[in-house]
Every structure is written in C-alpha cells, then in structure tokens.
Amino acid sequence: MFILIFIICFAILGGILVGIYIIKYRTLPINIWKPGAAWNRALIYFSFCNIFIAASGTLEQILSRPLFTPEQISNPYWMSYLIFCFIFVFIAYAIIWPRNTLKFDRKLYLGSEIVFGTIWGFSTGGLLLSFYHLWSLISIPQWAIYILSFSCISAWQYFIHAYFWDIYVSPEHDTPKSILIKTLACHIPNSLISFSFLSIWGNYAIFIFIFIIALISSTIAQKFPAPWAKGNFHAPMVRPGIFGLPYGSGYEEKK
C-alpha cells in the first residue's frame, strides 16, 4: 500500500509541475537560464525517477533490506571496501570536481543546495540502482548483471546529461576540458567502484548514500542557485548533436 501511495503522490506532483512548466516556462528560450525553470524541470525529472524506483520494486528492497548485516560489519574486506568508496567519492566530488567547475560569481545558497543535492542524489542513485535491481531479477551470472547494469547506466547518464540536464537544469559550469576530466576521473570510476561494491555485497541503501554525497558536493561546488535567486545567470553553451538536437558542450571563450 505504501508503494502505491508513493507512486500516486509523485504522479500527482509531477503532473502539477508539468502544468506549472507549461504555463510559466514553456516558451523560455534555450539561451536564458532561470532558477525557477531549472528547479521545475529538475523536480519533474525527480518525480519520474521516484515513480520508476517504486514501480520497479527497488524502493521496497531499499526499505526492507538492512543498511548492513552483522556479518558485513565484522568483515574487514567489507569495511575496507566501504571506506575506499567513501574516500574515493570525497576525492572525486569534493576535490577534483570543484577544481574543474565554473561558478561565474554565483552566490552560495548552502541550504537549498543541500536540499537539491539530497533529492538529486536519492533520485539518481535510486534510478541507477533500479537498473541493477531489474537485471538481477533475471537468472544470469552476476558478472553479466554487472556489465548490463553498467552499460545501461552509462548510456542513460550520457544522454540525460548531455541532452537535458546540462542544458535545461544546471547553469553553465563546465568547459569541454572539464567535462572530459570529470567523466574520466569522477563519473566513470565512481560508477565502476560503487557498482562493484553493490554487486559484491548487495547494500542498496549504501549505494544510494554514495550518490547523495557525490551530488550534494556537486550542487554546492557549482553554486546551484536557489529557486528564488535573482540576477542574470550564464546559460549553458550548446552545439548540435544527434539528429541536430542541442547538447551541452561546455563553455568556450568567444573569439
């Protein structure tokens, strides 16, 4: 019953947000970035993510599984891997990511950034976890589940960021070089490491917590404006991509 209510609530929320978007932001040009529109688009996406998390059966598993078992916490290999995961996510998203992020003198809104990053982390981590959970329902070897899950999340993350998130949600915060650095030094290793931990030990909630830490750090590092923030904000630069659709290409100085 709780899962059904959860789905209905997010479906209603998503519908209301879509209505607001149509009324207020539908005609907003791609080269104008407004905090209210960005939050609206993000919350619509988060609503979709949470419906998928619940409908796939992943939410039920998150709630029913223990955070860790007594056997795990007494296992030095589990503890060592867990510490390694948190050390890596700290280095990747609290050190490397901020050093390669443009802020354009945006004001810090720490409270709203923590809220946004937490919702973003749960929604993204839960959605990616759902790919793994659905593949795990099939009677195939664990290595195949890992490869198929990683392939799905890699494709999803690339397309959702390049063609949606980095154009319509985040303000400009990257360059072509920083996109490459973050992809190779942060995003891909984090997915490989966290999915390996999940595949070996099966800790659903810890997997999501890793993403919450990463995305809170990312939100703060780029100084993501609060929905009530005023001023002019640098809209992401775009280039034509697949089928001519715009994708977020990163900031480049105009010559």
pLDDT band at 188 (very low <50, low <70, confident <90, very high): very high
Average pLDDT over residues 52-80: 96
Predicted pLDDT at 1: 86
Predicted pLDDT at 191: 93
Average pLDDT over residues 73-79: 96
pLDDT band at 14 (very low <50, low <70, confident <90, very high): very high
Least confident of 39-48, 115-124, 207-216, 232-241: 232-241
pLDDT tens digits along 201-247:
999 999 999 999 999 999 999 999 999 999 899 999 999 999 999 99
Average pLDDT over residues 62-87: 96
148 has a pLDDT exceeding 80: yes
- What residue type is assigned to position 146 of the chain? Y
Q: What is the mean pLDDT of the chain?
A: 95
Give domain limits for the chain. 2-248
